Amino acid sequence: MSFKEMKKIAIIGAGNLGQALAAGLTKSGQYDPSDISLTRRNVEELSLFADSGYKITTDNSTAIEESDLIIVSVGPQDAETLFLSIKEVLHPNKHILVSTITGVSIDKIQSVVGQQIPIVRIMPNTAVSICESMTCLAAKDEQNESINLVKNIFDKLGRTLIVKESLIAPATALCGSGLAFFLRAVRAASQGGTEIGFHAEEAILLAAQTARGAASLTIDSEMHPESEIDKVTTPKGITISGLNEMEHQGFSSAMIRAIVRSANKIDDIINRT
């Protein structure tokens, strides 16, 4: 089987992540709004997208029939019902099925849809709306062509990494939930900034742009974060006193435990479904 182009996209379950994906796909310049169908049951929630030219419908089957790439982005509790309701309109020679659903394996999806449809699991985060996602992708070995087609699209929506399927749940904790952890760190820094004299909006700008700089330095230099930290710490200096206070208060431990706790919670959800 050879796929040439994924010209039309259906996002089935356009909630928070689905809407962020839609925004990113057009912002990246790869798709026009008219190439993208968005579905959900409460379709009135998508009126702003309708106004921008996206196709909006409650009819999952029609959206799928009119599309090549099918991104399913419903909650885990709705997954089985949804896959059962769309399995008749999925065609292995036409569609690639992409799932963002937490905790639902490729084998599970395959067993519900009951045919050898190419399936790619992805774990992006909502920064996909501004093309700054970290997206992990996984597929069965025989779906090499499909995963690379999907990767090419997501390469323009931030950074990507192909991983084993067993690492998709950990990626949810580090990258999906991780977005919230770093936002909380930005908020905390801005609260400190306000206490030392900045207005709240200024403090958030200063904290967020500093966080962006730290992230960009890490990615661009491909160095361990500690090597950049070494450049800004001097003996008996200001920065090391703040860093050591953070560690006395358990900053690294809190972040590590947040990521491990989130990953364990995903395991709980998987065991319950």
Ligand X SMILES: NC(=O)c1ccc[n+]([C@@H]2O[C@H](COP(=O)([O-])OP(=O)(O)OC[C@H]3O[C@@H](n4cnc5c(N)ncnc54)[C@H](OP(=O)(O)O)[C@@H]3O)[C@@H](O)[C@H]2O)c1
Span 42-61, contacts to ligand X by CB under 6 A: 42, 60
Using CB under 6 A as the binding rule, whether residue 69 contacts ligand X is answered as: no
All residues at 6 or more sequence positions from 113 whose CB lies less than 8 Å from its CB, including other chains:
83, 86, 87, 90, 97
211 to each of 2, 130, 132, 164, 206, how far by Cα in Å?
Answer: 42, 17, 14, 29, 9
Using CB under 6 A as the binding rule, whether residue 75 contacts ligand X is answered as: yes
CB contact burial 44-56 (16+ within 10 A = b; e otherwise)? eebeebeeeebbb
Strands 119-123 and 133-138: antiparallel
Using CB under 6 A as the binding rule, whether residue 78 contacts ligand X is answered as: yes
Name the closest residue to ligand X (Cβ): 15
Span 123-142, contacts to ligand X by CB under 6 A: 123-126
**How many other C-beta atoms lie within 10 A of the C-beta of residue 187?**
14
Range in contact with ligand X (rule: CB under 6 A) among 9-17, 113-121, 155-163, 231-239? 9-17
Find the shortest distance in angstroms from Cβ 73 to ligand X: 4
Span 79-98, contacts to ligand X by CB under 6 A: 82
Using CB under 6 A as the binding rule, whether residue 252 contacts ligand X is answered as: no
Q: Which of 98, 101 has the CB closer to ligand X? A: 101
Using CB under 6 A as the binding rule, whether residue 149 contacts ligand X is answered as: no
The single residue among 11, 18, 25, 133 that binds ligand X, judged by CB under 6 A, is: 18
Find the shortest distance in angstroms from Cβ 150 to ligand X: 15
One-letter amino acid at 109 equals: I
Find the shortest distance in angstroms from Cβ 136 to ligand X: 10
Using CB under 6 A as the binding rule, whether residue 67 contacts ligand X is answered as: no
On whether the CB atoms of residues 54 and 36 are closer than 8 A, the answer is: yes
Using CB under 6 A as the binding rule, whether residue 158 contacts ligand X is answered as: no
Span 174-213, contacts to ligand X by CB under 6 A: 176
Using CB under 6 A as the binding rule, whether residue 160 contacts ligand X is answered as: no
Find the shortest distance in angstroms from Cβ 177 to ligand X: 8
# residues near ligand X by CB under 6 A: 26
Q: Which of 193, 262 has the CB closer to ligand X? A: 262
Site residues (CB under 6 A) for ligand X? Answer: 12-13, 15-18, 39-42, 60, 73-76, 78, 82, 100-102, 123-126, 172, 176
